[in-house]
């Protein structure tokens, strides 16, 4: 999921929004993962707070990964 979202975002922004695209992709991937947790466990895993926290955590991880990736190649 994250890869597809990132690729689509990169295509739309022609590479200009790389860090933002990485954040969006991270959030999307985390939301899908949270959806699976919700389906398995129910209860608190299905709360708005759980999904919001997951999205924020994924966005931060994605943005940091997107920021660090170019420097890893050099």
pLDDT, tens digit only, all 74 positions of the chain: 888 888 888 888 877 778 888 998 999 999 999 999 999 999 999 999 999 999 999 999 999 987 776 554 44
Q: Which token pair is 28?
A: 């999307």
- pTM above the 0.95 mark? no
- Tell me how far apart the alpha carbons of residues 46 and 49 are, in angstroms, rounded to a whole number: 8
pLDDT at position 62 is 92
pLDDT at position 69 is 61
- Tell me how far apart the alpha carbons of residues 33 and 54 are, in angstroms, rounded to a whole number: 8
- Tell me how far apart the alpha carbons of residues 6 and 26 are, in angstroms, rounded to a whole number: 9
């Amino acid at each position: 999921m994250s890869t597809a979202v990132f690729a689509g975002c990169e295509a739309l922004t022609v590479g200009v929004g790389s860090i933002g695209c990485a954040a969006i992709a991270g959030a999307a991937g985390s939301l899908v993962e949270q959806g699976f947790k919700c389906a398995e466990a129910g209860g608190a895993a299905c709360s708005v707070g759980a999904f919001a926290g997951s999205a924020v955590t994924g966005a931060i991880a994605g943005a940091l990964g997107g920021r660090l990736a170019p420097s890893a190649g050099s």
